[in-house]
A = this chain, B = another copy of it.
Amino acid sequence: MQILTIKAAREKLMELQKKMAAYNHAMGLIYYDGATTAPKDTAANRGVTLSVLSEEVYRLGTSKDTVDLLEFLDSFKDKLPPKEQRMVFLLLKNIRDMQKIPMDEYVAYQELLVKADDVWHRAKEASDFEMFRPLLEQIFETNIRFAGYLAPDKKPYDYWLNEYEDGLNMQICDEFFAKLRSRIVPLLKKISEKPQVDDNIRYGNFPADKQQELSFYLMKTMGLDLGHVGLSTTEHPFTTSLGSHFDERITTHYQEDDFVSSMYSVIHEGGHALYDTGSADDLAYTVLDGGVSMGIHESQSRFYENLIGRSRKFCEFIFPKLAELFPEQMKGRSAEELYRAVNKAEPSLIRTEADEVTYSLHVMVRYEIEKRVMAKELQVKDLPHEWNRLYKEYLGVDVPDDKRGVLQDSHWSGGAIGYFPSYALGSAYGAQFLAKMKESVDVDKCLETGDFGPLNAWNRLHIWQHGCLYKPGELLEQVLGAPFDPEYYIKYLEDKCKDIYGLT
């Protein structure tokens, strides 16, 4: 390559990342369009485009010019500002990973995922696992094969866990989940001996247009900037950044007989969007834009959804708005009834609608299954059976069909194997963040007036602004001044159950 000055190379580094952001924008939007707006028979067309664009990205990311540039910068890394050091590190890691995967296999995998997304939607609608099975087999096989290319010395599942949460592996997960299970199962047993919570307040007739009004009210209350954060409806709620944190989209799903489902989806996805849009502006169009890891990301989404959104203070704050939007349904009801209803602990079928106490049991089912399929101890064809068996064992419920069972989540069809543990980890991180936040922020007082400013400022200062400048472990240490400890989370769950169920 031609001799570059460090200055010129640093400029080229920014140009490279801007290009990557552009491709991410295009590909993210094509995915988002497929989930929100596209006519139903257009998946094949998206597949053609995505396969071309991912090939272009692959070429861009692994070209000789790019490798030379990054290696040049890496050789002078001590002269770079910390943010640029991290950019070079992440880009080089990405290239070294990419180079290990043959291009045709990479492109074929992208095409597979587009097809799988489409088939999963249809299979779920038809509640027919067999429709989806061949694609899921290929997805698991590809993840095992790619892990073999990427980290031949690691067990495939360890590789992917670590990809979603730098530092994570099966040993840590096993210990974490064992600890949770040892405390949650007895807690659930105690709850089952108490009178059940009446959650009738959430059911009735809640027109989608009124629920949409509620969504926008929640987004504004949370401090989301609606000029940069959009809301759409999809089968399965998600959040995506388009190009940079200046264009963020969240989605929800309205059930007209139960307003609580969408309400907490919006707060959850809104938490992701707060995190992304809270990145420092100088991280835009770089690989540092957005969150650290899936676990930290979920710590924010589940922070707003549960620690904030399901608190008594927030229920008291939001109840008058509900009464205004749904006057008939809320007549004679109270904020306390809402609080109790949204904290009802009860084994159920659907992860995204699970209460906080049983939630991590849902995650454990998925973790167990992924672990065993990735170790080739379990075959994809046996997933429905195994899923149903584990739901019975962990949660005590009978799964009536695949739609409400093994087909309920979109993660596998998107190739995200190893993602689920992040949800449980994120919940646990969040509880410890809240304890730390309360040392300097009067959270209850904020919630009384619906003023999220001080909460958001704390999260922005400690977490959001940094994008993915730090590793999850580093960030946790920095924010908490102590190691991660799941005890905060377990204690939080126990305290809440005591409050709701009068446990002793």
* CB neighbours of A496 from chain B (8 A): none
Cα–Cα distance between A405 and B18 once the two chains are bound (Å): 39
Whether B30 pairs with A247 at a CB distance below 8 angstroms is no
Contacting residues of chain A (6-58) with chain B, CB-CB under 8 angstroms: 18-19, 21-22, 25-27, 29-30, 33, 36-42, 44-46, 48-49, 52-53, 56
A285 within 8 A of B: yes
In the bound complex, CA of A39 to CA of B227 (Å): 5
**Alpha-carbon separation in the docked complex, A19 to B53 (Å):** 8
- Pick from B53, B230, B244: contact of A39, CB under 8 Å: B230
Known: A26-B26, A26-B29, A56-B56. A45 touches B230 (CB 8 A): no
Residues of A within 8 A of B (CB): 18-19, 21-22, 25-27, 29-30, 33, 36-42, 44-46, 48-49, 52-53, 56, 225-230, 232, 242-244, 246-249, 285
Inter-chain contact A26/B18, CB cutoff 8 Å:
no
Contacts of A249 in B (CB 8 A): 39
User: Assuming the A-B contacts A25-B49, A26-B30, A30-B25, are A39 and B247 also in contact, with contact meaning beta carbons closer than 8 angstroms in the complex?
Assistant: yes
A26 and B37 alpha carbons, distance in the complex (Å):
15
**Can you list 7 A-B contacts (CB < 8 A)?**
A26-B49, A29-B29, A39-B228, A39-B247, A40-B226, A42-B247, A45-B247
Give CA–CA (A225, B230) in the complex, Å: 29
Contacts of A41 in B (CB 8 A): 225, 227-228, 246
Q: Which of B18, B53, B232, B285 contacts A22 (CB 8 A)?
A: B53
Report the minimal beta-carbon distance from A483 to chain B, rounded to whole angstroms.
38
Chain B residues with Cβ below 8 Å from A229 are: 39
Which of chain B's residues have a CB closer than 8 A to the CB of A243?
A: 45-46, 48-49
Closest 4 CB pairs of A and B: A41-B227, A22-B52, A26-B26, A42-B247
**Contact yes or no, A246 B26, CB < 8 A:** no
A226 — nearest CB in chain B belongs to which residue? Answer: B39
- Which residues of chain B have C-beta atoms less than 8 A from A40's C-beta? 226-227
Q: A26 to chain B: which residues have CB within 8 Å? A: 26-27, 29-30, 49, 53
- CB atoms of A228 and B42 under 8 A apart: yes
**Contacting residues, chain B, for A49 (C-beta < 8 A):** 21-22, 25-26, 243
A244 in contact with B37 (CB, 8 Å)? no
Alpha-carbon gap, A43 to B229, bound state (A): 13
A18, closest chain B residue (CB): B52
Other contacts beyond A22-B56, A26-B53, A37-B37: 12, CB < 8 A: A19-B56, A21-B48, A22-B49, A22-B53, A26-B26, A26-B29, A33-B33, A39-B227, A41-B246, A42-B228, A45-B244, A46-B243
In the assembly, what is the distance between CA of A26 and CA of B97, in Å? 26
Closest B-chain residue to A36, C-beta based? Answer: B37
A246 touches which of B45, B56, B228 (Cβ 8 Å):
B45
Interchain CA distance A30-B22 in the complex, whole Å:
11
A53 to B52, CA, bound (A): 13
Cβ of A25: which chain B residues have Cβ within 8 Å of it?
Answer: 30, 45-46, 49
Complex: how many Å from CA A436 to CA B4? 67
Q: How far is the CB of A13 from chain B (nearest CB, A)?
A: 15
Report the separation of the CA atoms of residues A228 and B229 in the bound assembly, to the nearest whole angstrom. 28
**How long is the Cα–Cα vector from A317 to B80 in the complex, in angstroms?**
72
